[in-house]
């Protein structure tokens, strides 16, 4: 792929002499791994007992640091990270992500009203996720210029969520706005990451897929929060 086909802000590795030898990420590979991660997430959410919530959260956090290391080692050894240890750890990470939201998901699934809300939130999430993903793949605009703004917005959002844990009485009236804000941020990040996948090398397939998966999980969480704040399912998230 010629250099000029990369949008501004995307650069091929400096140590590549012949750009034709650079193998970009296959969309089929990304979507295949992403599908297995969704399945692992569903298993974790519905089948992992609620008492494993904390161990799953700790392991999920640890894997955020372990997966990049195993990916780097696989690339250094000339192996495909997606079909080795790194790909397996990505599935474990997805299962842990499901187990972390498992208590809420299982509580909702226990009632017909809650199950309906869960299904509605999932459908809305997939529609929004797919729409922004397709936009990221097809647009000619350079979405990387939004990355810094979205990152700063994400830091502000995280700060608000942390503060809301200690000052819930102050932040509770703004719960719906926080949910909408989080949904907007991760919708835009979905578009950015799908465009990034389009121009990444195959060595980064797992890492790009992991970023897209995290966009989906967070988008689903915020959309589900919106449904719950509107009073659906008889369960409110604390």
Phi then psi for residue 80, to 5 deg, are: -85, 110
Give pLDDT, residue 148.
Answer: 85
Separation between Cα atoms, residue 10 and residue 25, nearest integer Å: 14
- The residues facing 201 across adjacent strands are 24
**Nearest residue to 218 (alpha-carbon basis) of 88, 60, 48, 74:** 60
Separation between Cα atoms, residue 158 and residue 210, nearest integer Å: 19
Helix (H, G, I), strand (E, B) or coil at 16: coil
Give pLDDT, residue 171.
Answer: 64
Phi then psi for residue 201, to 5 deg, are: -85, 165
pTM as predicted: 0.84
Helix (H, G, I), strand (E, B) or coil at 65: helix
**Nearest residue to 1 (alpha-carbon basis) of 19, 26, 14:** 19
Q: Helix, strand, coil % (nearest 5) of the chain? A: 80, 0, 15
**CA geometry: angle at 198 spanning 195 and 200, to 5°?**
110
Sequence-distant (6+) residues with CB within 8 A of 168 are: none
Q: pLDDT under 50 in the chain at which residues?
A: 1-21, 238
* Sign, CA torsion 131/132/133/137: positive
Q: Give the max Cα distance, the chain.
A: 60
Q: Which two tokens stand for residue 216?
A: 């989906």
Give pLDDT, residue 162.
Answer: 82
């Amino acid at each position: 792929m010629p250099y000029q086909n990369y949008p501004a802000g995307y650069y091929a590795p400096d140590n590549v002499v012949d750009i034709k030898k650079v193998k970009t990420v296959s969309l089929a590979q990304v979507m295949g791994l992403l599908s297995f991660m969704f399945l692992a997430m569903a298993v974790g959410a519905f089948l992992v007992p609620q008492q494993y919530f904390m161990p799953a959260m700790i392991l999920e956090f640890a894997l955020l640091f372990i997966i990049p290391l195993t990916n780097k080692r696989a690339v250094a050894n000339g192996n495909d990270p997606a079909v080795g240890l790194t790909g397996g750890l990505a599935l474990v990470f997805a299962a842990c992500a499901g187990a972390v939201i498992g208590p809420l998901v299982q509580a909702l699934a226990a009632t017909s009203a809650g199950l309906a809300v869960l299904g509605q939130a999932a459908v809305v999430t997939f529609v929004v996720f797919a729409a922004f993903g397709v936009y990221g793949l097809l647009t000619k605009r350079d979405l990387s210029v939004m990355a810094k703004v979205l990152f700063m917005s994400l830091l502000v959002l995280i700060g608000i969520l942390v503060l809301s844990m200690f000052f819930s009485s102050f932040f509770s009236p703004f719960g719906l706005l926080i949910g909408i804000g989080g949904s907007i941020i991760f919708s835009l990040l979905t578009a950015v990451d799908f465009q990034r996948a389009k121009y990444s090398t195959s060595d980064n397939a797992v890492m790009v897929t992991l970023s897209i998966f995290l966009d989906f999980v967070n988008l689903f969480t915020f959309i589900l929060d919106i449904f719950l704040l509107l009073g659906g399912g008889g369960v409110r998230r604390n």
